[in-house]
Structure 1
Amino acid sequence: MATHPKPWAFLDDDDDASSAAAPSSFADDTSARSAAPRLRSRVLKFVTSFQSRLNLDPRWSALPIGLIAIWICIATAVAPSDLGLARWNGFVVTLFAAAAMTILLIGRSAAGDGRDGSREAMRQALAQRLGIAPGGDAESLWTSIEAHATNIEQRVNELVQEQRRLQLEASLHSAQRRNLEAILHGMAEPLLVVDRFERIVFVNQVAAELLEITTNDAIRQPLDQVVSNAKLIDVVRQACQADARAARRRVELDFGDRAFALSMAPLPDSATADGTSAQSSAHGLVVLFRDVTCDRLAAKAKSEFVAHVSHELRTPLSSIRAYTEMLVDGEATDEKTRAEYYGIIQTSADRLGRLIDNMLNISRIEAGTVRINKEPVAVSIIVKEVADSLKPQAEEKNIALLADLAPVVDRVMADRDLLYQAVLNLASNAIKYTPEGGEVTVRMITLEEQNALRIEVSDTGVGIPAEDLPHMFEKFYRVEANKHMAKGTGLGLNLVKNIVEVVHEGKVSLRSEVGKGSTFAITLNKVT
């Protein structure tokens, strides 16, 4: 059976190894051989004790050697040929050499025994740590060492694998965090997150611009130290101090000329799975801002629209009801009075019909549900028809209605009925707001460079103040200074704008001067 190398051999005594390896045939010489080591051990103990007391080091052997060299040099220089002195020199040299050898042997022996003692102590400590009795089987010691080393190696491998797994998870979490931050920063809605101490945890770029703060400088800073909007600070503080159920709320705040609806919710880590908290302690908050400026303007416009429509509908309806009741009660005793009442009722009904038609047309155009039939149309024919239809109305006020027509060959791609309605509204308004004896002109101008056709309606009426010009095409808007001149709904010009710009992709323009009149223009592309 092959023998394994003994890595623990450096711990074994050389004499113990040699005595263990001796053949059994020499058992008779055991007592004789063991006497020498015992004697050597006693001598070494004496020398070691002596050396430890003297603290003797083998390097002290250099001192006698140096004295020998000095003596020889002196003797050679004083009496180099004296025979007696030469013998004396030999004796001294021998004495110093013996002293040097003695010091060297004692130092090495003591150092060797010290090392042996250290090895023995190390061996005993190792055996005690591995749970092996001192002096036990060396093979068991080696097996235990190998097992212990294997366990250590396995544990180290496990730790390395665990470290790699944790590094991979950390990298994955870091990548996910960066992606999430990129998504939140890319949101169009402002987003603000604060902790239970009202410190900013996250704010995206849109929210930072709205709150006029810097993203990096605001993180981990108290909200009331970086945000100047006192209402926002109060709302967030109240939500953070409320319980999780009450923290879910929606409020509206104004930021300059913009309005935002704030949707607030507690942080998930401070609430239970269903979004509620068992305790009413403070918690973090997520605040999402939604711009409701357009919604608020739309609601306001809707309210104004309903108010205007109600008023406009009530006026003709009141007239119709009043004169109808008078006819029913028999207050119109003669034919002339009854005819007058009938005329007022008819005028009010026509006004009511126009109001309803205009509202329906505008709503259909804005909703995109109006039926459009575009075809090449000769604009001069439409303008002539409008002039002919309004001629009686103009003659009633002694107004000159002029039509400056372009050649019939100039055509535009348009819905004939809607274009007729737009030109009719402009010409009718011009006649309404022009005093008696004035002049209204409908002319057509060909724009060769733009390949377009312009229809202008000019009057010599009262004109429009400069401050009212930007609002002339809004729904139900009427110039306050000119309301006494004619009745109206305030929807005619808005309908014109929708017909020209929305349906026909043209352009409507206006220029006016108070006391001199106004000019409305419609520009459309010609058919090539």
Structure 2
Amino acid sequence: MNISGKYWFLILLLLTVSCVDNLLVISQTVSPAYAFLIAFAASLAGWAWFMKSIKHDQQQIAACLRNPELARPDFQRKNFYGSVFAEAMHKMEESDTELSTTNQVKTMLKARVNSLLKKEALVESVLDNLEIGILVFDAKQELEFTNQAANSFLLAGTDQKQTTSESGLSLGKPVVEQTVIPELAKLLAKTIERKEATFRRRTEFEFTSNGISNQYRAIATNLTDENQVALGTVVVVENIGVEADEKTQHAEFVSSVAHELKTPMSGIKAYIEMLIDGDCEPEEADELYGFINDQIDRLTRLVNSMLNLARIESGVVEIKRHDHELNDILKTAADVISPTATEKDIKFTAELSDMYLPVFVDKDMLGQAIINLLSNAVKYTPNGREVRLRSRMEDTTAVIEVRDTGLGIPENSLPHIFDRFYRVPENNRSAAGTGLGLALVHFIVTNVHNGSISVQSQVDEGTCFTVTIPLGHKEQKRKKQLAPPANA
């Protein structure tokens, strides 16, 4: 029974009792006092039934709250609190839905924040491990972020620890003039002041850090949003010391090549002009033809040497490294040089190790390098003296020595002996050369075979070139790695 039915039932009960009571009193069936007791008892019974019904409904609601899944479809119709409870339950379900949605949104936002924090940490870690310095300034020219590589460009008073340990989004640094070195401050000022003309500017400067001076290139770029509102400026600083050295070496190389080509070409032109004018006798003409031939040979050697060096360095010549016995390569090189040494009455001795010296090398390239060293030794050794070729094992390396008793190299020339086109001034007249032979030897030994080469020399006593390359056969190492265990 619903709430309205219970109310009407109670009212009808009370009206019925009242009417019956009045009839009994009017008919004088019972006394008024007894009639009142009957009406009172009936009223108490009705109210007791009504309160018991409400209590039962309360128990149902309590049970439903404890176990909402037990709610019956006719609960609202029969329960005294049914409509109120149903509305309350509806509101609670809406609140639960909103709370669940809120929790889901909260979880999603938390996951998004964690993801962003991880990405920020990853980006900062990447930036800190870059060799290029990065400095970020906001629209007020305050430093917002720097990576490790850029710390050397900060002034001494700048809090570098905070810059590298905290997020770059909330540092609040001083104005740029009090933060970075003058070269960067000047670049940043020009970039911001002239942002209408160009959003990016660059400069190159020399800077000394930890006692080491290097050349740097700085590029400043203004940052804007999609509405072209200024966000700040980023400055990227790159060490271009190697690039500057390469440019210098390239310029020196071109200058040296031009000089080396100009000298024989000038001689050839002069000799040809003399021959064309007919100002020389037949015997003199033959001598001039000989000079021209020598200069052409010199040009040919120079061009061939440059081509060989350029091809090897650029990778045009394929490097073919295989397992070889070092002494076999040295014997072949010795056989090539022996006739030249014999012509000059030079005692040539090959003192090769009795041990097996396994190496993983390009046979032709290494052989050419040894031939170049032996050729130089014979070339700059006077007649009647001695040249020796030696090999030995030293720890995990094979050592090759080319020793002569020739003119020797002055001490001031030793640091430049492997430079391209460099020739010892004191020895220029002793033999023809291009100054590229030792540069080629150095490249073959160090770059192609991961070895090293050094030189010791005394003027008028001789020179010793020492080459070291790693020992070992690649094929044997591979087989050893694939070999099964001894107890297999």
TM superposition score normalised by structure 1: 0.61
Question: Kindly tell me: are residues 432 and 4 of structure 1, through their superposed partners in 2, closer, same or farther at Cα, counting changes over 3 Å?
Answer: farther
Q: Does 1:403 align with 2:359?
A: no
Q: 1:491 offset after TM fit, Å?
A: 1.0
1:209/1:524 Cα in 2 relative to 1: closer, same or farther (>3 Å)?
A: closer
Instruction: List aligned pairs for 1:283-362, cutoff 5 A.
Output: 283-335=231-283, 337-362=284-309
Displacement of 1:328 in angstroms is 2.0
How far apart in 2 are the matches of 1:454 and 1:473?
17
Give the equivalent residue in structure 1 for 2:310: 363
Aligned partners of 1:199 and 1:223 also within 8 Å: yes
Farther off after superposition, 305-314 or 283-292? 283-292
Deviations 1:273-328 (A, max 9, x none): 6xxx3x7xx54012233333322222222121111111111111111222122212
Instruction: Return the match for 1:220 from 157, 172, 175.
Output: 172
- How far did 1:352 drift? 0.9
Find the aligned partners of 1:369 and 1:427 in 2 and give their Cα distance: 26
Distance 2:358 2:465 in 1: 19
- Measure the CA separation in 2 of the matches of 1:158 and 1:449: 77
The 5 A counterparts of 1:452-463 are 452=398, 454-463=400-409
RMSD: 4.3
The 1-side partners of 2:348 and 2:97 are apart by: 100
Q: Distance in 2 between matches of 1:241 and 1:518?
A: 62
Do structure 1's residue 422 and structure 2's residue 365 form an aligned pair?
A: no
Instruction: Give how far 1:378 is off.
Output: 5.0
- Using the alignment, how far apart are the partners of 2:222 and 2:429 within structure 1? 59
The alpha-carbon distance between structure 1 residues 477 and 184, as it changes in their structure 2 partners (threshold 3 A), is: farther
Q: Unmatched 5+ residue regions in structure 2?
A: 23-81, 474-488
Partner SS for 1:284: strand
Per the alignment, residue 71 of structure 1 pairs with none
Equivalent residue for 1:385, pick from 332, 336, 360? 336
Q: Please state how far the C-alpha of 1:389 moved relative to its aligned partner.
A: 2.1
Q: Given the alignment of the two structures, is residue 178 of structure 1 paired with residue 118 of structure 2, yes or no? A: yes
TM-score calculated relative to the size of structure 2 = 0.65
**Mapped partners of 2:197, 2:97: distance in 1:** 49
1:192 deviates by 1.9
Q: Does 1:207 align with 2:207?
A: no
Tell me which structure has the larger Cα radius of gyration: 1
Inter-partner Cα distance in structure 2 for 1:525 and 1:167:
60
Q: Tell me by how many angstroms 1:501 deviates.
A: 3.6
Contact 1:380 1:408 in 2 (8 A): no
What is the aligned counterpart of 2:203 among 219, 239, 251? Answer: 251
Contact preservation (8 Å) 1:406, 1:446 = no
Paired residue type of 2:455: L
Amino acid at match of 1:356: V
Q: Contact 1:426–1:457 at 8 Å: present in 2 too?
A: no
Number of aligned positions between the proteins: 390
Bigger proportion of residues as helix: 1
Is 1:233 aligned with 2:161? no
1:353-390 Cα offsets, whole Å, 9 max, x none, are 11111111111221233256666535234224313125
1:500 aligns with 2:454: no
- Pick closer, same or farther for the CA change 1:296–1:433 going to 2, 3 Å: same
1:252–1:261 CA contact under 8 A, matched in 2: yes
> Structure 1 stretches of 5 or more lacking a match?
7-18, 30-141
Task: Using the TM superposition, give the Cα deviation of residue 520 of structure 1 relative to its aligned residue in structure 2, in angstroms.
Answer: 1.7
1: CA distance, partners of 2:206 / 2:192:
21
In structure 1, give the amino acid aligned to 2:2.
A
Q: What is the CA–CA distance in structure 1 between the aligned matches of 2:178 and 2:165, rounded to whole Å? A: 12
Contact 1:379 1:412 (C-alpha < 8 Å) held by counterparts: no
